[in-house]
Amino acid sequence: MNLKDIHIIYFIGIGGIGMSALARYFHANGKQVAGYDKTSSPITENLQTLGIEIHFEDDINLIPKEVFVKENSLVVYTPAIPKTHTEFNYFKDNGFEVLKRAEILGRITNDTYCLAVAGTHGKTTTSSILGHIMQPIEATAFLGGIAENYSSNLILGKDKISVVEADEFDRSFLHLSPNIACITSMDADHLDIYGEHQALLDSFKAFSNKVSDQLIVAKGLPIEGLTYAIEEDADYVASNLRIVNGVYVFDVKTPKNNINDVEFSLPGRHNIMNALAALALADVYGVSLDKIKEQLASFSGVQRRFAYKVKSESLVLIDDYAHHPTEINAVESAVREMYPSEEVLVVFQPHLFTRTRDFVDDFALSLSKFDEVMLLDIYPARELPIEGVTSKWLLDKITAEKKQLLSKEQMIKQVKFTNAKVIVMLGAGDIGLMVNEVKDELIKEYNL
């Protein structure tokens, strides 16, 4: 299949963050794009404003008739859709070209010089930073989040260089052919797919073997490559960290040079690691350190990654995608660094029954670090319930004195009565869609 011969591309799950980046890319390149998703969202609404036709019922009668011309069309799907999906099964059973999102990304990037960011945490922020660094040399970046500088999950450049988020879910990243890549972390996750941590580690090893030119890894990971770290012996080292006017300033040693007074505005040491990984990738590619420093200073962040929704003297509301204990720990650490003397409330929506089951004790430890906990029901995503795996089970393991299990409606009404000055909303489910409702309630309550 040659993508140049394809005239229409149909996406099953077009509202997904990775899927929608591909939809934008093909639309920008003159293809007719259409799709299905389960529910409307700001992402699908934005795609519709571009003229992309989207429907929200699993019904082949709603698919544009042009899609049914096999030789002109391609169907792209996300692994998150159920196996019983009517449209998906129709296309599979009738001989259409049907490919996973990762396979398409692999084909697009195969003809480019590809810089890939892998890891169980930090992929989206690191690839967004890297995409921003590489934007002046017209790289095209496919991101797993909305980069604030571009209000998009696609940074559209030319077709010589690509920046991609290399997703370990469903072993998707093994479809890529990266020239330069980094691995940020390899913590146990997606055990519903991998079964055990070792299988996940083996998958990262297989990914590392696909890297043709240079692999870069966070110091301490059990894979060979150039290393990066904060104030440790490594090939790329960030040191002399300080906060000046609310912005991180630090120095960097590279294998060949040093650069001082690098400015970066995202809070938390984990984000310094993300910035350092992106710096290393761009440096290996050949971007000048002065240009890297300039781009790091102007990076505005990623939506739902430590995103301030309210920031006033009397109240702070932060929205973050964190859905794994390691990520929750990173957010908590960053909040304590920025607001060391303030009481902090976390509102958390667990994501997936399997992840809650596999890491329940770790979740309890992470959430217990906050002064107050409001827990929502588990967001099922692609899964069916598992007996005994509930938010109440998790709540009982949390040791914070102030803790409660609430419905979404109860949480939106109750959150304004907290004594905490800092409120953090965490999760990868639909909690992100509730943040603005909470924000509106708080603004009314505090007369902001």
Position 245 scores a pLDDT of 82
Write b or e for each residue in 408-419: b if 16 or more Cβ atoms lie within 10 A of its Cβ, otherwise e.
Answer: eeebbeebeebe
DSSP 376: P
Q: pLDDT for 67-78, tens place per residue?
A: 999 999 999 999
SS (H, E, C) 230-288: ECCCCCEEEEEEEEECCEEEEEEECCCCEEEEEEECCCCHHHHHHHHHHHHHHHHHCCC
Domain map (residue ranges) of the chain? 3-101, 112-297, 307-446
CB 263 within 8 A of CB 104: no
Q: Which helix (H) or strand (E) holds 48?
A: helix 42-49
- As a whole number of angstroms, the distance between CA 103 and CA 114 comes to 15
Q: pLDDT for 373-386, tens place per residue?
A: 999 999 998 789 99
Q: What number of other Cβ atoms are within 10 A of residue 302's Cβ? A: 25
Instruction: Please provide the DSSP assignment of 175-205 as one string.
Output: G---SEEEE----S--HHHHSSHHHHHHHHH
* 241 pLDDT tier (thresholds 50, 70, 90): very high
Q: pLDDT for 96-144, tens place per residue?
A: 999 999 899 999 888 899 999 999 989 999 999 999 999 999 999 999 8
Position 193 scores a pLDDT of 66
* Out of 74-83, 156-165, 215-224, 340-349, least confident range: 74-83
Q: Which residue has the tokens 């150039």?
A: 226
Nearest by Cα to 4 from 142, 163, 111, 115: 111
CB 423 within 8 A of CB 448: no
Position 321 scores a pLDDT of 93
- As a whole number of angstroms, the distance between CA 199 and CA 362 comes to 20
The CA dihedral of 129, 133, 134, 140, to the nearest 10 degrees, is: 40
- As a whole number of angstroms, the distance between CA 139 and CA 127 comes to 12
CATH topology of domain 307-446: Protein-Tyrosine Phosphatase; Chain A (3.90.190)
Position 423 scores a pLDDT of 97
pTM of the shown model: 0.85
Q: Which helix (H) or strand (E) holds 9?
A: strand 8-12
Q: What are the phi and psi torsion angles at 252 (to 5°)? A: -130, 130
Q: Is the dihedral of CA 206, 209, 210, 216 positive or negative?
A: positive
pLDDT at 192 over 80: no
Position 438 scores a pLDDT of 95
- Let me know if 102 is exposed, middle or buried by CB neighbors in 10 A (0-12, 13-18, 19+): buried
pLDDT at 298 over 70: yes
Name the CATH superfamily for 112-297. Mur-like, catalytic domain (3.40.1190.10)
CATH of domain 3-101: 3.40.50.720
